[in-house]
Amino acid sequence: MVQIISIANQKGGVGKTTTAVNLSASLAKLGKRVLLVDCDSQANATTGLGIEKPDLELSLYQGMIGEADARDIILSTMLPKLKLIPSNVDLIGFEIEMVSDPRREAKLKQFLVPVQEEFDFIIIDCPPALSLLTLNAFTASHSVLIPLQSEFFALEGLGQLLDTVKRVKSSFNPGLKIKGILLTMFDRRTNLAQNVMEDARQYFKDLVFKTKIPRNVKLGEAPSYGLPALLYDKASQGSKGYMAFARELLRKS
């Protein structure tokens, strides 16, 4: 049975898209059938998998407004088991056009239903805001994965995100759960990173994954080559970190 996981944090720069791309690639490398859905109008996940946004004839926008089916939009990637539903700046129009639609929060869920059983995992990269697109992602998902950067003020604002999850759970998606919290940009040499880890574990207990993603130059370089880290430099600490995280996620699943 498919697992649909939204990767979300309303703060930018926390490693959200990096996590979406590299977790998806790692799961595919481990033999799972994975669909990555780029649900952000900035479309960084699309770029990170080597897709030229100006060349797209169809994107998630056309799917969510009902002009195209998922099978017409899904693209292959350099990993045989990893597929992508790309995005581009057109997605900005979704929130404006759907403002008066009574089922506007369920458009992504409806769009994915015809193809979801063809995959083991559907990973949704959410925008860095608690918007209608994020609401759609949460309504379509079984769980939410939260990347948490190991920096000052990391826990600030998480309450708002958790409140949104609670509201979606009560109003639109009773089965929605927090999959867990992934510490990103972790530098074990600093007291700050250790303090953030301790605070996160104090507040969230077993929801904090044991795997921590290190701060790593290769993770930052890989998207500019349109590659996940495991294809850009599989020996890098970033690539190894996401592969370890994918294994931990599979064990927990």
Write down the pTM of the prediction.
Answer: 0.96
Structural domain count, the chain: 1
pLDDT in tens, 200-252: 899 899 999 999 999 999 999 999 999 999 999 999 999 999 999 999 999 98
Residue 44 reports pLDDT greater than 90: yes
Euclidean distance between CA atoms 37 and 104, whole angstroms: 18
Asked if the model's pLDDT at residue 152 lies above 80, the reply is no
CA proximity to 239, closest of 83, 72, 25: 25
Residue identified by tokens 């100006």 is: 54
State the CATH number of the domain containing residue 185.
3.40.50.300
Structural domain that includes position 152:
3-252
Predicted confidence at residue 192, as pLDDT, reads 83
